[in-house]
Amino acid sequence: MTAVLLFTGYATSFAETGQAATVTAAASAVAEKITAVRVKGNRRIENAAILQSARVKAGDLLELDKVEADLRAIYKLGHFQDVQAQTEQAPGGVVLEYIVVEKPVVREIKIEGAKEITPDKVRAAVEIKPNSIFSAKELQKSILKVKKLYSDEGYYLAEVVGDTSRRSETELNVIIRVKEGKKVLIKTISFDGNRGFKDKKLKKAMETSEQW
């Protein structure tokens, strides 16, 4: 018989925001003896690599704070978008199971809509690389870098969005979609309310410059 979940899982938002997820007991814990510690749900990452980061061992008493610490340690490995723990009754105590959901692996970076700047150049600006573990945070960084790439070339109105498409449960493609818009040439840069510095000095400090 499987007991109710002891802890809520650490969702992807924990990794992306850096905020500690709330860990709550779903049932009153009794200090039972742990007869075995197992891992479920992993496909690419070996059990030994996961359990190496866990401090709770067979023979220990079941203590919520120690299991919570293990959940955090396993999550911080960076391979999982969700980590949970549950217990299963066994002769002489309970089996503790850590249930993980692996982050998908990126197989391909697809560029759509890039014409004035070559797709290869856009792809080079994307921080996510094929065969790496997908990160929503890295995708957002990539979008900003592609926007800057277009801005540097004078396409200030370019729109860039990032998307993903699933290949399987464990693999996905990253798609960068671009609407380039028209190239903008800046004729004049003027400053309103500037008293402390000369306009010429401020213009030198700007990345954007007059092109006419």
Q: Are residues 111 and 73 in the same domain?
A: no
Q: Are residues 155 and 93 in the same domain?
A: no
Q: Are residues 93 and 119 in the same domain?
A: no
Using CA atoms, how far apart are residues 58 and 41, in angstroms rounded to an integer? Answer: 20
Q: Are residues 173 and 149 in the same domain?
A: yes
Q: C-alpha 141: how far from its chain's center?
A: 11
- Counting the structural domains of the chain, the total is 2
Full domain range(s) for residue 14: 2-102
Using the 3D structure, point to which of 102, 132, 157 is the last residue of a domain: 102
Burial status of residue 18 (CB atoms within 10 A of its CB: 0-12, 13-18, 19 or more): exposed
Q: Are residues 36 and 67 in the same domain?
A: yes
Q: C-alpha 120: how far from its chain's center?
A: 24
Q: Are residues 87 and 57 in the same domain?
A: yes
Residues written for the chain? 212
Contacts of 14 (CB under 8 A, 6+ apart): 20, 21, 75
Over the stretch 10-68, which tens digit does the pLDDT of each residue have? 333 334 344 434 344 433 445 789 999 999 999 999 999 999 999 999 999 999 899 99
Over the stretch 132-166, which tens digit does the pLDDT of each residue have? 999 999 999 999 999 999 999 999 999 999 999 99
5 pLDDT above the threshold of 80: no
- CATH of residue 81: 3.10.20.310
- Whole-number Cα distances in Å, 11 to 3, 159, 169: 21, 29, 17
Residue 198 lies in a domain: no
Question: What is the pTM assigned to this prediction?
Answer: 0.66
Q: What residues are paired with 111 via a beta bridge?
A: 176
Average pLDDT value over all residues in the chain: 81
* 4 vs 158, more confident: 158
Q: Are residues 25 and 86 in the same domain?
A: yes
Percent with pLDDT over 70 in the chain: 73
